[in-house]
A and B are shown apart, each in its own frame.
Chain A
Amino acid sequence: MPVDYIALTRAQYDELGYPPYQWAERPDTPPWTPFRAPMSESKVALIGSGGAYLSGQVAFHWKDDTGIRRIPTSEPATDIRVTHFAYDLVPAREDPNIVFPVDRLRELVDLGVIGGLAPTAIGCMGGIYSALRTVEELAPAVVAEVLAMRDAGEVDVALLVPV
């Protein structure tokens, strides 16, 4: 059985006397876009919400930071850092690929599993306690970035890695 983080958080908030956390919910059927080609011929864009940034970039802050960081995928993940207030960062700081798998995706291109890797991966810090700001600020920034790459012929499929 998967860990039920919604139930755990609800119980924790109750114990702490906090008002219930408002989880994002979408009861309707999500949109469906068919794959145009097999994954072996598809270029993949990586989007991760674990707080990845590149050394030299301004790090995310922890209070509803809705910014994105553009991380080039051509280089090894050595200079990728992670910052987030709500999960144990120790393992991801040892190897950012476990929340932001750029090295592995590059290898899967070489192995022919996917057709390519978008030149830019997108890091964000998913611990935003405002669904409205996520929808109105973060999501449009991510979408604009990915669509620009799609229009340049650099992306067919988006891989989302939430934390």
Chain B
Amino acid sequence: MPTICLTAAYSITASVNPPRATFVDLPLGNTVGRPHDPEFQRDLLRRAFAAAEAMDEAGTITDLGVAWDADGSWKRFATSTGVGTGDGRDDRNQRLDTPQYQYESDRLAAGS
């Protein structure tokens, strides 16, 4: 079956090398855009499908040409890891082995 990968992490996707990939230069966790901006989100997905249809070679990654801000300044804060600041932080959450619910009501709804 044909697949289309929509990614905000160019280097990681290039390493995995899927048949058809479309790249958006947006922060991780915002692959389809900003919250509650349906027009931008629809336009981005429309571009992704059009780009995928135009591909004729396995391993293609097409940049969809979407931008987060005018000057790309978000990239200075692209990771919360403290890389390059010399303080060697690891800000990822602890990898807990119990279900991590968004809301306590979800836990109750799931009966766990």
A interface residues (Cβ-Cβ under 8 A, vs B): 2-9, 11-12, 15-16, 23-36, 38-39, 50, 53, 55-64, 81-83, 85-89, 91-95, 97-99, 101, 103-105, 107-108, 111, 113-114, 127, 129, 146-147, 150, 155-163
- Chain A contacts of B112 at CB under 8 A? 58
Q: Report Cα–Cα, A32/B7, bound state, in Å.
A: 19
How far, in Å, is A37 (CB) from chain B's closest CB? 10
Total interface residues on B, CB under 8 Å, equals: 72
- Chain B contacts of A57 at CB under 8 A? 110
How far, in Å, is A11 (CB) from chain B's closest CB? 5
Q: Which of A4, A8, A87, A146 contacts B1 (CB 8 A)?
A: A146
Q: Which of A26, A88, A114 contacts B17 (CB 8 A)?
A: A26
B interface residues (Cβ-Cβ under 8 A, vs A): 1-13, 15-19, 23, 25, 27-36, 38, 41-42, 45-46, 48-50, 52-53, 57-59, 75, 78-84, 86, 88, 90, 92-103, 105-107, 109-110, 112
Q: Report Cα–Cα, A118/B112, bound state, in Å.
A: 29
B18 A6 Cβ-Cβ under 8 A: no
- Chain A contacts of B59 at CB under 8 A? 29-30
- Chain A contacts of B82 at CB under 8 A? 12, 15
B29 A89 Cβ-Cβ under 8 A: yes
- Chain B contacts of A127 at CB under 8 A? 95
List 12 interface pairs A-B (beta carbons < 8 Å), by A numbering: A8-B83, A23-B12, A32-B58, A33-B1, A81-B101, A83-B100, A85-B92, A104-B41, A108-B42, A113-B46, A159-B48, A162-B31
